Amino acid sequence: MEFKGKTILVTGAGRGIGAAIARAFAQEGATVVVNYLQDAAAATTVVDACKQMGGDAWAIQADVTSEPAVRSMVEQVLVETGKIDVLVNNAFAAYSFDPDQRTMFWELAWADYQRQLDGALRSTYNVCQAVLPHFRKRGQGSIINMVSDLVERPSVPYHDYTTAKSALIGFGRNLAAELGPLGIRVNSVAPGLVYPTAASRQTKEEVKDMITAQTPLRRIATPEDVAGPVLFLASDWSRFMTGQTLFVDGGLVMK
């Protein structure tokens, strides 16, 4: 895939899946904007790795749930690079995937749902609103939203998290229908359990073994496994795809 001369904005790219996506784009020659919330040192490490792989990168701190912060970030990117070609909405509210410690529905407050909706949906809304005028002016652009295979197969009912990701799929499909005539594509990538990440750190071995046994490819995904499908959806190889959700979970969900 050819991403030389392309500018890629990846939110929540300081670690885990976001960092793997940033590195993968850089390896293909892209300029990557590494958005992060708090850990500047981790973001700097990702930037250094991107540069070592042959791409260019820099880190920008912004709370993507804040509209002013997002607009400032996007304006800065456009001043520095003159364009954005691909937006990857990867940021989400912190979550721990621990089946033994999960909160049951009857213990959840609406504030728990709201926090996840803000982290996944509101953040994506904010960044799309900020980037869209630029995409519309150019008559092109690719948006990739990171969701979860739990929306199709809630093997563990993480109610608040999965509800937010389900809403994000609906958001993306409506956006794809509206923006398609303008030359802008919107797709989603739905990983299964990805290890190691900060969110999956508490996942017990027996849970990983159970998921592995049910997965046709017989292993758990790594962050790097998720990056490839994101690059595919960002590339011209998928130029006639929009409104789609790619499940990246070794066959656990088949559609």
Q: Count the alpha carbons within 13 Å of 90 in the hemisphere toward its beta carbon.
A: 28
Cβ neighbours of residue 218 under 8 Å, at least 6 residues apart?
212, 250
**φ, ψ at 102 (rounded to 5°):** -65, 155
Whether 161 sits among the annotated catalytic residues: the reply is: yes
Nearest to 226 by CA among 172, 190, 201, 251: 190
* From 36, 125, 158, 161, active-site residue: 161
Q: Quick one: 189 exposed, middle or buried, by C-beta within 10 A (0-12, 13-18, 19+)?
A: buried
Distance CA 237, CA 119 (A): 30
Q: Residues with catalytic annotation?
A: 161
